């Protein structure tokens, strides 16, 4: 295996024996092979799309498959074996459809369109030929992987929107075109252009998901969220999928079972539609990487709706309480199947399990505030603009992104603590757990930590910046008093970064390390054209940012 798609990759070079995330080498290899087959499906589907004959089921299989390969999403080799078999069957169907539709196929079909196998051993072996290192040119490899990781992030957000009935064919078409392009002999300049185009579709997909979430559940509102517990049995829901949250809340209503959010599901509390459920009690714990200890004390079952799984240690007692659904998977966990068209997912098994469990053990008390997506911030626009004009707010710091295990991530807590009192943090994603419980106070009633929501809600932060640019009649978004100090971990952070670059945002500081999949030459391109930089030391960065 070879994998370097996440920030914590082994020794800062790449995982070659097992993933730091917890995936085994066989899972890593099967993921590489699945990606290869998805490229082949995309090759055929592009030709069918050109004549309006592309089957709708193809789009879902592709974004489902891509989502499953994101860091911390799925650790079950059997799942990937089945996905590859299904994907090969579909690719062969598309070959037949092309012939029946009169599509002129080249005499020499590319390997992605013809390779086949039938056993899990063959699937694993194929990864040695088609994995990351199969691209020998370091710079081409770097750009191809940057595009692929961005497309994986696109797929994740497209799936959430899809689950809420929102879909956009242009996004599906781009994902497939980009996958095929990573197999073609493109120049550095062509790949750079495709990378920036990936960012354009990142903006589009986050706008689509924003419309899906707010259309279904209302605009997020400023909300105080309880972080204590009640004395009832409960389910802890983790991940990102709001449709799963809705189905779970409806089915647990009146059962005596409470529901708590974990990590990136915290923003569910901000939506008006979810506030009517009195058994949506609060948020339990912190960012995803602390689950090995926090899940022990929760006592009830845990539902993973997406990525952010940490495989339990062999000594863990909560292993039998883990449920997965959607793209997520873990060997030994109970997987809840997808919903049938027009129906809810069936969460009866996890609800009955919860009834047999003790109430959660309290690990903290109090409240945290959030819910400052673009509509809520626009409602406070007059107050914010006045604070800027009066000098009460001197600068905003976008500190969105991901949290992670590395000790160096303490930097973000220290940075937030050391910021001047006339600054405000704009955040989204689980990076906020580094500072959202600090007593940072407010400025004229405006919280100094403005939490927009999940990682995809970084879209709100971009919309807010563009609105401020309009209010202050500026020509360039970079003239705003906004600095970007972003933490990253996995591929959804990659698409957020590319989206910001597409919007013209420059001088983003990225940490705790720059992605190792960026070659020196590609890094140079990003530095020279966009001012991308790595974080350094808190004091030094404060001097740079507060000039």
27 within 8 A of 55, measured Cβ to Cβ? no
| Model pLDDT for residues 128-177, shown as the tens digit of each residue | 999 999 999 999 999 999 999 999 999 999 999 999 999 999 999 999 99
The pTM for the full model equals: 0.97
Distances in Å between the Cα of 223 and the Cα atoms of 248, 278, 463 are 21, 15, 20
- How does residue 200 score in pLDDT terms, banded at 50, 70 and 90? very high
Mean local confidence (pLDDT), 79-88? 98
pLDDT of 503 above 70: yes
What lies within 8 Å, CB to CB, of 150 at 6+ separation is 178, 195, 198, 199, 202, 491, 494, 495, 498
- Within 356-426, residue ranges assigned H as helices are 374-379, 381-390, 410-418
Among 40, 11, 6, CA closest to 23: 6
Distances in Å between the Cα of 297 and the Cα atoms of 252, 263, 330, 352, 354 are 21, 15, 20, 19, 14
Is residue 69, in this structure, part of any structural domain at all? Answer: yes
CA 493 to chain centre: 6
4 and 107 assigned to the same domain: yes
Ramachandran class of 129: left when φ > 0, alpha when ψ lies in -120 to 50, beta otherwise: alpha
Distances in Å between the Cα of 543 and the Cα atoms of 50, 182, 392, 534 are 53, 40, 20, 15
129 and 243 assigned to the same domain: no
CA atoms within 13 A on the CB side of 500: 33
In the block, residue with structure tokens 């990573």: 182
Q: Which two tokens stand for residue 345?
A: 């997912």
pLDDT of 357 above 70: yes
Is residue 406, in this structure, part of any structural domain at all? Answer: no
Strand duo 367-370 + 223-226: pairing: antiparallel
CA atoms within 13 A on the CB side of 145: 27
Domain ends where: 355, 373, 389?
355
Q: Which domain covers residue 59, as residue numbers?
A: 1-134
| Model pLDDT for residues 387-404, shown as the tens digit of each residue | 999 999 999 999 999 999
Determine the pLDDT at residue 176.
Answer: 98
Distances in Å between the Cα of 220 and the Cα atoms of 215, 305, 378, 531 are 11, 21, 12, 33
Is residue 56, in this structure, part of any structural domain at all? Answer: yes
Phi then psi for residue 504, to 5 deg, are 95, 10
Domain ends where: 115, 134, 153?
134
How many independent structural domains does the chain possess? 2
Is residue 213, in this structure, part of any structural domain at all? Answer: no
Is residue 230, in this structure, part of any structural domain at all? Answer: yes
> Where do the DSSP E strands lie in 26-136?
none
130 and 228 assigned to the same domain: no
Among 493, 500, 488, 511, CA closest to 415: 511
What's the CA dihedral at 63, 69, 71, 75 to 10 degrees? 130
123 and 235 assigned to the same domain: no
Mean local confidence (pLDDT), 220-241? 98
Domain ends where: 111, 134, 157?
134
128 and 235 assigned to the same domain: no
Q: What is the DSSP string of 453-514?
A: -SGGGHHHHHHHHHHHHHHTT-S-GGGSSEEEEEE--SHHHHHHHHHHHHTT----EEESS-
| Model pLDDT for residues 21-65, shown as the tens digit of each residue | 999 999 999 999 999 999 999 999 999 999 999 999 999 999 999
Mean local confidence (pLDDT), 13-22? 97
β-partners of residue 423 are: 395
Mean local confidence (pLDDT), 516-523? 98
Is residue 37, in this structure, part of any structural domain at all? Answer: yes
CA 438 to chain centre: 25
Determine the pLDDT at residue 547.
Answer: 59
3 within 8 A of 28, measured Cβ to Cβ? yes
Is residue 262, in this structure, part of any structural domain at all? Answer: yes
Among 237, 246, 236, CA closest to 345: 246
44 within 8 A of 94, measured Cβ to Cβ? yes
Q: How far apart are CA 515 and CA 366, in angstroms?
A: 36
Q: 72 in helix, strand or coil?
A: coil
Mean local confidence (pLDDT), 414-419? 98
Average confidence score pLDDT of the chain: 97
Determine the pLDDT at residue 494.
Answer: 98
Distances in Å between the Cα of 471 and the Cα atoms of 281, 308, 449, 466, 468 are 38, 38, 22, 9, 5
- The CATH number of residue 326's host domain is 3.40.50.2030
Determine the pLDDT at residue 12.
Answer: 95
What lies within 8 Å, CB to CB, of 66 at 6+ separation is 35, 38, 151, 152, 155, 156, 175
Determine the pLDDT at residue 546.
Answer: 77
Q: Which two tokens stand for residue 298?
A: 């929760």
Percentage above 90 pLDDT, the chain: 99
Ramachandran class of 444: left when φ > 0, alpha when ψ lies in -120 to 50, beta otherwise: left
110 within 8 A of 491, measured Cβ to Cβ? no
Residues in the chain: 547
- The CATH number of residue 126's host domain is 1.20.1270.20
What's the CA dihedral at 112, 113, 118, 120 to 10 degrees? 20
Distances in Å between the Cα of 286 and the Cα atoms of 97, 346, 381, 414 are 49, 27, 30, 17
Element (H, E) at 397: strand 395-398
Distances in Å between the Cα of 197 and the Cα atoms of 12, 147, 151, 325, 495 are 28, 9, 11, 31, 11
Is residue 338, in this structure, part of any structural domain at all? Answer: yes
Q: Which two tokens stand for residue 74?
A: 């799925």
């Amino acid at each position: 295996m070879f994998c370097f798609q996440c920030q914590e990759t082994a020794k800062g070079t790449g995982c070659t024996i097992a993933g730091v995330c917890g995936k085994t080498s066989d899972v890593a290899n099967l993921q590489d092979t699945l990606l290869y087959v998805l490229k082949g499906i995309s090759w055929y589907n592009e030709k069918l799309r050109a004549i309006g004959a592309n089957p709708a089921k193809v789009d879902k299989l592709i974004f489902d498959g891509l989502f499953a390969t994101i860091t911390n999403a799925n650790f079950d080799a059997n799942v990937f074996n089945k996905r590859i078999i299904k994907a090969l069957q579909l690719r062969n169907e598309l070959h037949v459809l092309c012939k029946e539709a009169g599509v002129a196929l080249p005499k020499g079909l590319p390997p992605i369109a013809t390779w086949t196998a039938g056993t899990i051993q063959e699937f694993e072996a194929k990864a040695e030929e088609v994995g990351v290192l199969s691209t020998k040119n370091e710079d081409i490899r770097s750009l191809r992987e940057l595009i692929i990781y961005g497309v994986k992030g696109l797929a994740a957000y497209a799936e959430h929107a899809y689950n809420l009935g929102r879909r956009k064919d242009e996004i599906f078409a781009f994902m497939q075109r980009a996958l095929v392009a990573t197999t073609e002999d493109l120049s550095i300049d062509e790949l750079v252009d495709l990378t920036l185009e990936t960012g354009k579709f990142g903006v589009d997909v986050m706008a689509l998901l924003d419309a899906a979430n707010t259309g279904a559940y209302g605009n997020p509102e400023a909300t105080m969220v309880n972080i204590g517990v009640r004395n009832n049995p409960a389910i802890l829901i983790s991940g990102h999928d709001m449709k799963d949250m809705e189905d779970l809340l409806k089915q647990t209503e009146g059962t005596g079972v409470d529901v708590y959010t974990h990590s990136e599901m915290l923003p569910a509390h901000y939506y008006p539609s979810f506030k009517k459920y009195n058994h949506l009690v609060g948020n339990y714990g912190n960012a995803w990487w602390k689950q090995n200890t926090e899940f022990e004390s929760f006592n009830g079952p845990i539902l993973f709706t997406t990525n952010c799984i940490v495989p339990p240690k062999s000594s863990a007692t909560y292993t039998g309480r883990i449920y997965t659904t959607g793209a997520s998977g873990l060997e030994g966990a109970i997987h809840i199947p997808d919903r049938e068209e027009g129906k809810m997912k069936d969460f009866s098994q996890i609800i009955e399990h919860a009834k047999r469990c003790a109430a959660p053990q309290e690990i903290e008390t109090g409240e945290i505030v959030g819910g400052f997506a673009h509509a809520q911030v626009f409602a406070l626009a007059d107050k914010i603009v006045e604070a800027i004009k009066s000098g009460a707010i001197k600068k905003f710091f976008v500190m969105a992104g991901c949290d992670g295990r590395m000790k160096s991530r303490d930097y973000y807590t220290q940075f937030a603590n050391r910021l001047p009192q006339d600054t405000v943090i704009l955040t989204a994603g689980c990076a906020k757990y580094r500072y959202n419980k600090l007593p940072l106070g407010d400025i004229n009633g405006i919280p100094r930590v403005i939490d927009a929501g999940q990682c995809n809600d970084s879209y709100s932060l971009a919309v807010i910046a563009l609105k401020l640019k309009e209010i202050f009649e500026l020509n360039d978004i970079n003239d705003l008093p906004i600095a970007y100090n972003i933490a990253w971990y996995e591929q959804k952070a990659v698409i957020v970064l590319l989206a910001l670059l597409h919007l013209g945002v420059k001088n983003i500081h990225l940490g705790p390390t720059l992605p190792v999949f960026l070659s020196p030459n590609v890094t140079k391109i990003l530095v020279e054209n966009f001012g991308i930089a790595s974080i350094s030391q808190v004091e030094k960065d404060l001097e740079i940012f507060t000039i």
